[in-house]
Structure 1
């Protein structure tokens, strides 16, 4: 009998020491050991999707060893806690506020948990065929799509990690709130998860119209440039300053950034500012002026204009709309 990718999650749950769940599409699973507390919710909105919401802690340092039985792709949003992972003799760390994508074949994994640390995560698992399908759709008009085997390049495991995009954080938190309130239909869950999948695939695998023109070192520098702009919204460097910081001449920086990320350096900065503004307005902890200042806009009228251009509503109307 063939083993599907859901078996990888089942193996992990067994190794974690949870009570055997009932066989249904939405499963609540609690721990059978007093060494841990909390629970895991497991959802399967369709056969090629697995959604896992984890919220637990351990009363002592703990390790979980598990083997994957089927190639798959997992995307995780870590909201709380720092967890170590050892795979193929390499150490990785998953920290709060990060999104990770893991592509794996058959591997041995060792998960390391700290004592009395709360872990809250949302994980999405898909089989290889679904990953390839989404990469084809993302790049359907832009040449040959990236495939699972090409990303692995003969390795059994690849690990990608970035800070969670503010808009993605908003989507994940709204998803959690709806699941806790039990007001999310199976179709709504599926649609939300597919939205996150598409956005994350675009984040980790931006399409380049001419990827062979840039060396691996150049691509790493362009990625560094993107991170610098995202982390310095309030006081971003000029193009010349950014060029010096990453070690690329300004022509290659502008051309490479546009080809890798589909926008200019400052177009990317604008998108990051507006997505963070959307998240802050949704949180309800700041007024419009405070949000504008928090994302680098000193002129509130200009902020309102660019916000409306992106979202179709000015910030005050957006607040009223979201509260309804």
Structure 2
């Protein structure tokens, strides 16, 4: 019976992928396809007439992880009908979607720095994307095998609690800083084969645990404040996603549409630290990891954490840690 059930679910999964390919075929072309240790990977490039960017996914053991990264030149509206059972977890890092679910009397506006969790059975509807807008989304689908393996239904009752007919605008949550850190790891990962399987599964479980924990706990100011808080979290993500770049407050303010004074004031109020202190802490944390766990030279580490001049990096590191990077590395070697 287990084999029959698995075959049935696999058939449904393949049917869904076929539907997706039919939708994507009109706007993309396949540029990469491979399979290692059961991890099936595909990457599609958007046709130039529709946009500049890509869609890629990894799929294994009842787990699907897709990434959209594109700047659209045309309005795109996709329509889909699904009859599978899957828990869908979406993270919209940048952009906007207008989601219409058949049977619902209003659309959902899904915006930058937001996420949702929903259990899909039979459903149909459309998603609209606007041209001249950058769009970046991480979409995760967990199928019955994965759900059963991790006892998500028996423990959390996710199929009922997150049923599609219960979703409303309040089901959409803002991205917290921890979620952004995990997403950055997913987006920059280069592992292959078994290591990739283990890494992807562990990160999906981390993201799911964070979302379930947020639902269980009391709502914080983040979930009760709209655009301003989302913009502050977006600033956090911009800084943490590429530490090689040292953004000025003015540059960050322009990217999220705030004035300099408001950004500095509200960032300090919400996160209890300045933008400079937040970025510096991230840089020093990454630098210490590289010093302890790699053989990269100091000058290369300084570039990886945003310092073009290794002398400036050494001075900043010593000010925070009390010793130079070289002595910090030597000390770490002595204690191992």
Shorter-chain TM-score tier: 0.5 to 0.7
Q: What is residue 287 of structure 2 aligned with on the other side?
A: 320
Within 5 Å, give how 1:1-324 maps onto structure 2.
2=8, 3-5=11-13, 7-17=15-25, 18-19=28-29, 22=33, 24=35, 25-31=40-46, 34-44=49-59, 46-88=60-102, 89=104, 90-128=106-144, 130-131=146-147, 134=150, 136=152, 145-151=155-161, 156=165, 158=167, 160-179=171-190, 185-203=196-214, 205-206=215-216, 222-223=218-219, 227-228=223-224, 283=243, 285=246, 293=268, 295-296=271-272, 318-324=285-291
**Change beyond 3 A, Cα 1:75–1:9:** farther
Higher strand share: 2
Q: Secondary structure at the match of 1:34?
A: coil
Higher helix share: 2
Q: What is residue 320 of structure 2 aligned with on the other side?
A: none
Query: 8 Å contact 1:132–1:147 — kept in the other structure?
Result: no
Instruction: Give the TM-score of the pair, scaled to structure 2.
Output: 0.58
Give the whole-Å Cα distance in 2 for the aligned partners of 1:168 and 1:152: 19
Instruction: Give the TM-score of the pair, scaled to structure 1.
Output: 0.60
**Change beyond 3 A, Cα 1:230–1:170:** farther
Q: Secondary structure at the match of 1:120?
A: strand
Query: 8 Å contact 2:119–2:159 — kept in the other structure?
Result: no
Give the whole-Å Cα distance in 1 for the aligned partners of 2:82 and 2:209: 24
CA RMSD of aligned residues (A): 4.3
Query: 8 Å contact 1:281–1:319 — kept in the other structure?
Result: no
Q: Secondary structure at the match of 2:55?
A: strand
**Change beyond 3 A, Cα 1:36–1:13:** farther
Give the whole-Å Cα distance in 2 for the aligned partners of 1:161 and 1:228: 11
**Change beyond 3 A, Cα 1:171–1:23:** closer
Q: Unmatched 5+ residue regions in structure 1?
A: 138-143, 208-221, 234-272, 305-313
Please identify, of 100-109 and 21-30, the stretch whose mean Cα deviation from structure 2 is larger. Answer: 21-30
Deviation of 1:82 after TM superposition, in Å, equals 0.6
Query: 8 Å contact 2:113–2:175 — kept in the other structure?
Result: yes
Deviation of 1:16 after TM superposition, in Å, equals 2.9
Give the whole-Å Cα distance in 2 for the aligned partners of 1:229 and 1:59: 32
Query: 8 Å contact 2:101–2:126 — kept in the other structure?
Result: yes
Deviation of 1:198 after TM superposition, in Å, equals 2.3
Deviation of 1:49 after TM superposition, in Å, equals 0.6
Deviation of 1:297 after TM superposition, in Å, equals 5.3
Q: Deviations over 1:33-67 (max 9, x none)?
A: 733442211101x3211110111233222211111
Give the whole-Å Cα distance in 1 for the aligned partners of 2:20 and 2:243: 34
Give the whole-Å Cα distance in 2 for the aligned partners of 1:146 and 1:79: 27
Deviation of 1:12 after TM superposition, in Å, equals 2.7
Q: Unmatched 5+ residue regions in structure 2?
A: 1-6, 248-263, 292-336
**Change beyond 3 A, Cα 1:22–1:227:** closer
How many matched pairs? 245
